[in-house]
Amino acid sequence: MAYSSGHTGHPSRRSMILGGAAIGATAVTALSSCTEAPAEGGADGGLEWDEASGGYVMEEEVATGKAPLTLWVEYEEYGDAIVTAFQDVHPDVKIDVEIVAKVDAGERMALDGEAGSGADVFTLQYDQLSSAIDAGTAAPIGQYEDALTERSGPVFAAAVSREGAMHGVPIATESIALFYNRTLLKSLTGSEEPATTWEEITDLAASYNDSAANTWTIRFLAGEMYYAYPVLSSLGWRLYPDGDLEDPQLDSSELTAGLEYFASLRDIWDVNSADATYDSVENEFAKGETPYVITGPWAFGDFDPAAESLGFEYGVTTLPTAADGSTALSLAGLSVAVVSGYTPYPAAARVLADFMASDAGAEALYSSIGAVPALTPELSSSIKGLADDEHAQGVLAQSQNSDLVEEIPAYMYTVGNALVAQVWDGILEVGDAQSQAQTDYQNLSSLGE
């Protein structure tokens, strides 16, 4: 997630959204002592709340530094920055940081929490939260709910809420968006303004595309549901609209319309799905000869030096819609801080988790690894450097147009990727591809794969 201009590090692309490659967990500190999940006494377990400070009163052992809190995060730079910022406010509190990939944290906590060797606060992807709640490893946030909802906005707050209670703190958001080469667009169209519809992109492609020269107006990973979803959602399809994992709406007429429209885009990006790769998308945009690509903030680390070296400017904006469609929704990622249901320090853990979403916590996140804090656009302007980072603001704008599905099983991506690839490559007609997807989904879901 360390990807923004001016920041170091470059993690696996899309590691935040889809889990990516697991990052090895390196134990670096002593761990909390806990053996069983505490019973919740009401919304906040009967913990003492200080109205004056608007926070919980930390347990004395933690407040005086006799017992450390353990924090699991994915990136060392972020962990160090959070500890420094938190100790500026609470200088006596000790925090031990362990590097654990979000994709691994849920399963590890299910084992380590009960064994007494888990974290007090850990980070997850939001779509793993339901499993963490079921396992007893995610506790409610308690009286911080209202303030956190105001800071993160209703979309992100709803994504971490289950049965009327917030069980996670929105920390960082990530989404694909439309990246555009301002300099090239100016020379081609006379305007730096990006397209807002696919029809506008198609019009430019009529004069700019040259398949023999591998020149394309727009590039994206055409064989992945994640990249097709904004097109499909613009035509009215929603994945699990009722939260029912048994019914992903693969037979819906809205999906049919969306897939037919998606297939028509082959005319402007005429490559097989297997050839639409990171190299053929991001690396080609970095050469300065592609007006548009659909990608995410992991590409900043490649695009920024390329733009500076080659002398072009680029921007980031919301994804294009179909001319007769609605807003293009993306399957955005949301990284959340979770208070362990096993922590022996539930008050102090909640104080730390809440701090991670504060202005100081958001600044630590952005300054250390360049991630986009999960704040409302209005509040993001208060974070040093973020208000002036138009690229990050473009990602945040698209994140506000996101479909934060509560849970997406891995087999849905398997089925969804096959579906869009078969349609894109012309292997199956849309209706036949949908029927095949339904059969595959039923088979894989019954196996839990």
**Domain containing residue 241:** 177-330+407-447
Band of residue 404 on the pLDDT scale cut at 50, 70, 90: confident
Sheet holding 121-125, edge to edge: 95-99, 69-73, 121-125, 333-339, 169-174, 372-373
pLDDT reading at 40 higher than 80: no
- The answer to whether residue 288 sits within a structural domain is yes
Quick one: pLDDT at residue 367? 93
Q: How far is 313 from 181, CA to CA, in rounded Å?
A: 6
Q: What is the pLDDT of residue 6?
A: 36
Asked whether residue 46 is assigned to any structural domain, the reply reads: no
Tell me, yes or no, whether 264 and 292 share the same domain.
yes
Contacts of 70 (CB under 8 A, 6+ apart): 29, 30, 31, 32, 95, 96, 97, 98, 118, 119, 120, 121
pLDDT in tens, 65-102: 999 999 999 999 999 999 999 999 999 999 999 999 99
Stretch 114-126: mean pLDDT, rounded?
93
Task: Report the chain's mean pLDDT, rounded to a whole number.
Answer: 89
Residues 142 and 278 in one domain: no
- Residues 286 and 205 both lie in one domain: yes
| 33 occurs within a structural domain | no
Q: Is 300 found in the same domain as 226?
A: yes
In the chain, the number of structural domains is 2
Kindly report the CATH number assigned to the domain that includes residue 212: 3.40.190.10
Q: Does residue 373 share a domain with residue 229? A: no
Do 345 and 381 lie in one domain? The reply is yes
Q: Where do the DSSP E strands lie in 60-120? A: 69-73, 95-99
193 shares its domain with 286 = yes
Residue 23 in any domain: the answer is no
Is the same domain home to 136 and 231? no
pTM tops 0.75: yes
Mean pLDDT along residues 37-51 = 65
Categorize the per-residue pLDDT at 45 as very low, low, confident or very high, splitting at 50, 70 and 90. low
Same domain, 198 and 242: yes
9 assigned to some structural domain: no
pLDDT (0 to 100) of residue 36: 44
Q: Residue 237: what residue type?
A: W
Least confident among 225-229, 311-315, 351-355, 379-383: 379-383
- The tokens of 186 are what? 């100016």
Are 262 and 167 found together in one domain? no
- Give pLDDT, residue 210: 98
**Domain contains 325:** yes
Which pLDDT value is given to residue 374? 93
* Claim to verify: residue 296 and residue 432 sit in the same structural domain: yes
Q: Are residues 88 and 164 in the same domain?
A: yes
pLDDT category, 449, cuts 50, 70, 90?
A: low
| Least confident residue range of 94-98, 201-205, 398-402 | 398-402
Q: Is a pLDDT exceeding 50 seen at residue 41? A: no
CA distances to 36, 209, 336, 337 from 342, rounded to whole Å, are: 6, 58, 17, 15
